[in-house]
């Protein structure tokens, strides 16, 4: 399921990252790699604040929909 469907406070594991190569590279640089644990801290209007690798990152709905957990 896409990361946008994850519940707040729920720890999920990243299974796959879709999109163009430059999008995947951008997300990988932020720490979104296959197997990484990600926790949704807050979801407002589809935009997410997530905790990944001891960092908080804000991502838009379009980016979050490419991350499968």
CATH of the domain at 51: 2.30.30.90
Confidence at residue 2, expressed as pLDDT on a 0 to 100 scale: 93
Domain residues for the domain of 29 are 3-68
Q: What is the pLDDT of residue 28?
A: 92
If one counts every other C-beta atom within 10 angstroms of the C-beta of residue 41, the result is 13
Other beta carbons within 10 Å of 4: 20
Number of independent structural domains in the chain:
1
Give the β-pairing of 47-52 and 16-17. unpaired
Residue 40 has what pLDDT?
A: 95
3-57: per-residue pLDDT in tens?
A: 999 999 989 999 999 989 999 999 999 999 999 999 999 998 879 999 999 999 9
């Amino acid at each position: 399921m896409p990361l946008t469907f994850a519940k707040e406070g729920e720890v999920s594991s990243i299974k796959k990252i879709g999109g163009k190569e430059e999008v995947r590279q951008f997300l990988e640089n932020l720490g979104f790699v296959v197997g990484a644990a990600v926790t949704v801290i807050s979801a407002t209007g589809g935009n997410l604040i997530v905790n990944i690798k001891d960092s908080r990152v804000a991502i838009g709905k379009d980016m979050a929909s490419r991350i499968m957990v």
